[in-house]
Amino acid sequence: MPTETKTASHYVEKPQTLAALREGIAAGRVKAVDLAHAYYARIDAKNPALNVYLSATRERALAQAARIDELAAKGDPLPALAGAPMGIKDVLVMQGAPSTAGSKMLKGYEPPYDCTAVTRLEAAGAVLLGKVNCDEFAMGSSNENSAYGPVRNPVDTERVPGGSSGGSAAAVAANLAVATLGTDTGGSIRQPASFCGVVGVLPTWGRVSRYGLIAFASSLDRIGPFAGNVRDAATVLGAIAGHDTKDATSSAAPVEDYAAESDKPAAGLRIGVPEEYFSEGLDAEVRAAIEKGIAALEAAGCAVKKISLPHTKYAVPTYYLAATAEASANLARFDGVRYGYRSARAGTLAEMYSRSRDEGFGAEVKRRIFLGTYALSAGYYDAYYRKAQQVRRILAEEFLRAFAEVDAIVTPTSPFPAFRIREKTGDPLSMYLADIYTVTASLAGICGVTTPCGTTQAGLPVGMQVLARHMGESTAFRVARAVESAEI
């Protein structure tokens, strides 16, 4: 076996930071091509048990790795993500690669263009290994809604990895990628990151272009990274953030050096702890872990104070009205006509529409389409959708007032650790309540980071959510880094 392959295997056996991988490639200690081969070997060995990857993009990945090796051989400066093996959530399109959104509706669909976030990752040197599993059309909190089977949590394979970006979180936790991209509409990055014991980032809405994202709820959807540590997550966000002419809703605000900002100490920052996030329903072990995290922030020199976000109790119903209404409109495009699944049992045009959507969509997606269509229907629009938008504004204003007093807000990411597979599938309301601590930030458009914050007695990860004002990612990274450094 060649020396390079042995070296690559060594790099894969123990998770490496992005900086360590880049340094190793630049110094000639490992080749990006050998590293990619080693990761594919690991995926081939472990994916059957975890069901993380839906497809591999080997030819594209190896071609990108070869370009990185050419740069290294010439002694040219390497970009920030040079050679980094990464996975991409299957709601983000890649040219020539299947993009199913975890749905039978899009089985076999290969888009003719790349998502902007994908383009920017490759420009930064990342090696994109393939597409990872997710809840169908990003609708779910457990990754059990995928048409291609559930993802299993690498920490405990009898438990869910969280959703909808469960494949993205599990890939990092199992070291089937150094970092990944996921999407977050109501908690779909933060909750699975918490369940799998990795770092997940919710960027400010508009911070990352949504061009090439298969939409769920356009005013809520965001693309963000998963990584094994805060600095790596900050580095990936820096690579994909920024204005995009292909997305008019992307922000023109300057992109900070998030990795460098995350190196700054958190001492002197004002941290708010909202009482509403520590009430009935919070698991005792989760509470204890988060309280240790808060104590660690105090020890790091942060000023901690209690605050109140009294309208938090309205967040879940508000979210599930606003999000499902937008889903109803966005998913109307999947009609069996232009692309995607078409029923073979259709005799008329009306039957083709009806049967294609009934057979192509899974139960959870259909449930949300029904809810959203009802909320938008004549006679109910004002009572439901419009009212939800009014409450959404109140929630956003509540955060603005809070950030006048504090620099960041810390909460549990989830009220409980990862639950068992099939434990909540028969109770949609219970499943929706898994998002109780994450949907508020989604509705308000603010940013956040979830970072590991201890484990339960059973060894299940607990995540702390750090929320910051609009475009306040640097502050969130500093606080998350302080929690990470405490090694709770």
pLDDT of amino acid 1: 38
Does the pLDDT at position 170 exceed 70? yes
The pLDDT of 354-379, averaged and rounded, is 96
222: β partners: 184
65-95 tens-digit pLDDT: 999 999 999 999 999 999 999 999 999 999 9
User: Considering 99, 103, 164, 328, which one is annotated as catalytic?
Assistant: 164
The fold adopted by the segment(s) 3-262 is Amidase signature (AS) enzymes (3.90.1300)
126-147 tens-digit pLDDT: 999 999 999 999 999 999 999 9
b/e code 270-303 from CB counts within 10 Å (16+ = b)? ebbbbebbbeeebbebbeebbebbbebbeebebe
Does the pLDDT at position 49 exceed 80? yes
pLDDT of amino acid 358: 96
b/e code 454-470 from CB counts within 10 Å (16+ = b)? bbbeeebbbbbbbbbbb
pLDDT of amino acid 433: 85
188 is catalytic: yes
292 is catalytic: no
Of 243, 244, 223, nearest to 233 by C-alpha is 223
367-392 tens-digit pLDDT: 999 999 999 999 999 999 999 999 99
How do the domains of the chain map onto residue ranges? 3-262
User: Considering 141, 168, 188, 194, which one is annotated as catalytic?
Assistant: 188
pLDDT of amino acid 44: 98
What are the tokens at 250? 């992307």
pLDDT of amino acid 5: 45
The pLDDT of 200-208, averaged and rounded, is 98
User: Considering 89, 141, 262, 328, which one is annotated as catalytic?
Assistant: 89
**Considering the chain, what is the average pLDDT of its residues?**
96
The pLDDT of 390-416, averaged and rounded, is 98
CB-based contact 141:432 (threshold 8 Å): yes
Percent of the chain with pLDDT over 70: 99
Does the pLDDT at position 279 exceed 80? yes
Measured between its terminal Cα atoms, the distance across the chain in Å is 40
CB-based contact 180:225 (threshold 8 Å): yes
Distances in Å between the Cα of 190 and the Cα atoms of 98, 177, 449 are 25, 18, 7
